[in-house]
Structure 1
Amino acid sequence: MCQNVGNALEQVTFNKHPELRKLKDRMEKYGLDGVTMSGSGPTIIGFSRNTSRIKRAYNSLRGFCEEVYMVRLLNEE
């Protein structure tokens, strides 16, 4: 599922706000299973089943972004 995440508005938003493209690229470098923009932006979300990858991305992004959150999905099957 994570490989299929996407948002049709990303390209338009990234053209107007290239810093969001940089953020997505940075998140993808950590090998997350999926990275996409939520809605019309500016939230970029990443998914991974690998906790250590999420933690590395989270710790790196804390110095790069004003707000960074790490959450865990409930009722995961």
Structure 2
Amino acid sequence: MLRGYVQQIAPTPDRRQYRATVSLPDGLLTTHTAGKPLRFRPELTGTADIITDNRRLLEQAFTGLRGLLRDKASF
């Protein structure tokens, strides 16, 4: 596993996937296999679990709902 931070996400999907630019503070050093580094390849692809922060799912849902209500109220 690599630890990284999403810097940019494409506004539209490409073949049902979103392209993202990710910064890797530890480079390509993995947390598995005793910190073995991955070899760099241009356009390296992978699958990610994106954690927005350490809030509970219910808290995140209410934040999204509040944003929707705020947007509708401004019309």
TM-score by length of structure 1 reads 0.24
The higher relative CO (CA closer than 8 Å, separation ≥ 6) is in 1
TM-score by length of structure 2 reads 0.25
For the pair shown, the structure with the greater C-alpha radius of gyration is 2
